[in-house]
Amino acid sequence: MADDDAPESVHLRIRREARGLFSGLRARFAAAWAVVWASSSELLGKLRESRLGQWHQRRWHESKRFRLANYTLGGGVLAFALLWIAIGWNLPSADRLLTYQPRLPTIVRGVNGEIVYAYARERRVQLRYVDFPQPLINAYLSAEDRTFFSHGGVDFGGLAGAVVDYVAKMGSGERAKGGSTITQQVAKNILIGNEYSVTRKLKEMVLARRIEGVLTKQQILELYLNEIPLGRQSFGVEAAAQAYFGKSVGDLTLAENAFLAALPRGPEIYGREKYAARAIERRNWVIDQMVRNGFASAAEAAQAKAQPLGIVPRRSAVYDPSTGYFVEEVRRNLIDKYGENAEAGPNSVYDGGLWVRTSLDPQIQKATQDALRAGLLRYSGGRAFSKPIEHVKLDPDKWQTQLIAQGKSISYQDWRIAIVIERSGARATVGFADGKKGPLISAPDALREGDIIAVAPAGNAWALRVVPEVSGGMLMQEAFSGRVLAMQGGFDAGLGSFNRATQALRQPGSTIKPFVYGTGLDYGMSPASQVVDGSFCVYQGAALGQKCFRNFDMRGAGGTHTMRWGLEQSRNLMTIRIANDTGMDNVVRTIDRVGIGKYDPYLSFALGAGDTTVLKMVNAFSSLANNGVQYPPTLIDYIQDRNGKVIWKADNRRCDSCNMAEWDGKPMPRLAPRGKEVMDPRTAYQVVHMLEGVVTRGTATTLRELGLPLFGKTGTTTGPTNVWFIGGNQEIVGGVYLGFDQPRSLGGNAQGGSTAAPIFKQVVQATKPRWSTRPFVAPKGVYMVRIDRVSGKRVLDGMPSNDPKSSIIWEAFKAESEARTGPSADDAAKQRDALIAAIRRGASRGADTAVEAPVAEQAPPAAAGPGPAIRVP
């Protein structure tokens, strides 16, 4: 029978109220003493009058030995009573085990229901009694408590042996083994702790008797097999089976069952490779006990003993490393809601056993990670080693501990994290977290001892790999729900948990312009409105003087151009004029309404001078894609507690009639809209329609070859210090930026269209079947009109073509603005003559030839809701 060490983390924390303890004890003792005194006084009076009493008094006065014997007996009774009070007083109630909740990890699932991560500091898997295979139960009964089903909580025969062992080892420093039944071990592991003392053993006995009166034998065994500490941070037999053999308990062999049953005696000894001989000896002893108890035959035992231990190397749970930034963001959200440990509440992250369904899409997440990494490496290509990942003051005797303490890892290709432990001339030696060492070839001059670096195998040596110093963040979101599908906050989550997709505040640059143009559209402009692309200066007062704005190319194009052209070509001067004419107060209100940020009404904010995050920008563009309706960004769909009850969900709308037993004949119940309208739907569509032009002939033409209906906007901040792209379709919107964590120039060749947009393009290429070919759907109240792309004037002859440079295009107008952009009288006369000529030509070719009617110059308004896009053929 085992009496093993159990770490404090497995014990049920029982809060004890100490206030008023001693006063309560005094009151109880006084009341009890009064009763005892009254009863004993009456009894003693009767005893004295009896013959026995008279004989006792005579012997008391005549014999000194008789008095000593009485004193000894009375002292023994008193000592036993005091010991019983000391042991039994204030022991935890065994009834607590009926509602005992073990510490369980939180399990995270992706959008497809597959487990993607677990927040766990201990390995724990809870099983029911019926799930434990009988051979495993037999092994534990043979090793730990063969009379379990017949004793009442304490095996007095085993206890006597334990007492003998304790006396024999007294003073030797060795710890006595044996004496604890399975019930006593449950009391120790869960209720009272593992203090090595006679008092604790006596408490075990008292509690074991109480537990046997509260729980059935099956319930006690279920608790034991789920809670017993078995090494490798595993608690319970299922977790241990996974840790030592990589399989479930139902798949274990006789030898493997016996090994697990041998572990309680010393999990940190028998579970280690260097003690394999001792582990085999203990395992074989368990097998012999199983034969003795009739649980295995001699032939089965011989076969099992001939097998090696077969335990797998210690390893951590394997999860897709691409999910690192996403699951860390989920962890932060959960800790904010429920706390970290059991002390914070029953639904804590590391102890509450939550089941969390997230919106993580593994396919898109992997593509997002790969694309951002490729973009960072592409920008950094050819750059020499400049600085390490980290640097520590090297202790030659503790370099392994120093490396492990940094907690760095990397999951890119065959790269590994190492520390430089020796540098001599052109040669260097690196060490790894597992204690191994190796030579580093071609060590650069800047490399120093104590540098933590990335390396990759190079024959029998290692070669330096340069982790890009530039970084960035990327995020993909479902536009019509706000659910975040993927998130990458840097090159590798193992290098640091700082998430640049949600935590880095960066200037968005020109990606904010669509909301400036949208404000202009709200205040009477149209995509065909003419705007001057010329110098623009404002006087900022005596202290700041005059501020003059410039285009990215440091010059104006001259003349006037359509709003569409200005957005497609990202003209700063046209944007500033629109913001100034519309009013910066109105512009910053729009920017605030879509959730980008709260800015003062200064013109520089119209060019993206304010700080924001990738998450906020992507969510703002999602409102454009969703015709002005915005949903709050979410990573978690819903959370269940350990019992499966949903305790939180992102979509908390109620539908009381959805689950009626029988249809009542009334219209089908529908959920209320969840999103919030942050922009006029017509304005949002007009902006998206212009942003399609950014892809087809503007600053993001690298995406045109994808052959998909996409919209987007590039951005490049002054320096340039940040380069951006944000865009997508009406279902998925994504955004990415690149920049140094401590902002500095990326170099003149870095631009949003050439540096950031290709990263988004790679994601789409890797997940192309997921991207719809459905054109953007216009909302009600939008009219599609043929116009000249350059002048913005309506045309009646000719049709738009698929050529991106076509002079005639379809443009989106609101009814009121379309009327203002109609042709002049002269243009109308020319168009009328051209139309009459076309009709005559058609009539001469035959009555069956189709003739374009004047009403076709304007498309009917789009129907609300899903349907084909409004396109005039």
Active-site residue list = 144, 510
Dihedral class, residue 180 (left if φ above 0, else alpha if ψ from -120 to 50, else beta)? beta
Report whether 209 contacts 152 (CB < 8 A). Answer: yes
Structure tokens at 555: 């010059």
Structure tokens at 470: 């530039």
Widest Cα–Cα separation across the chain:
154
Structure tokens at 567: 């957005």
Residues 6+ apart with CB under 8 A from 825: none
CA angle 221, 227, 232 (to 5 degrees): 135
Cis peptide before 800 (omega within 30 of 0): no
How far, in Å, CA of 306 to CA of 300, rounded? 10
Q: What is the 3-state secondary structure (H, E, C) of 699-759?
A: CCHHHHHHCCCCEEEEEECCCCCCEEEEEECCCEEEEEEEECCCCCCCCCCCCHHHHHHHH
Helical residues (DSSP H) of 215-320, grouped into ranges: 217-227, 237-245, 254-262, 267-270, 276-292, 298-305
Please report, for residues 79, 418, 530, the alpha-carbon distance to residue 76 in angstroms, rounded to integers and kept in the order given.
5, 67, 108
Residues 6+ apart with CB under 8 A from 688: 624, 625, 711, 776
How far, in Å, CA of 367 to CA of 763, rounded? 5
Report whether 421 contacts 399 (CB < 8 A). Answer: yes
DSSP 543-608: TT-EEEE--TTSS---SEEEHHHHHHTT-HHHHHHHHHHH-HHHHHHHHHHTTS----S-GGGGGT
Q: Is 500 helix (H, G, I), strand (E, B) or coil?
A: coil
How far, in Å, CA of 596 to CA of 737, rounded? 15
What residue type is assigned to position 557 of the chain?
A: A
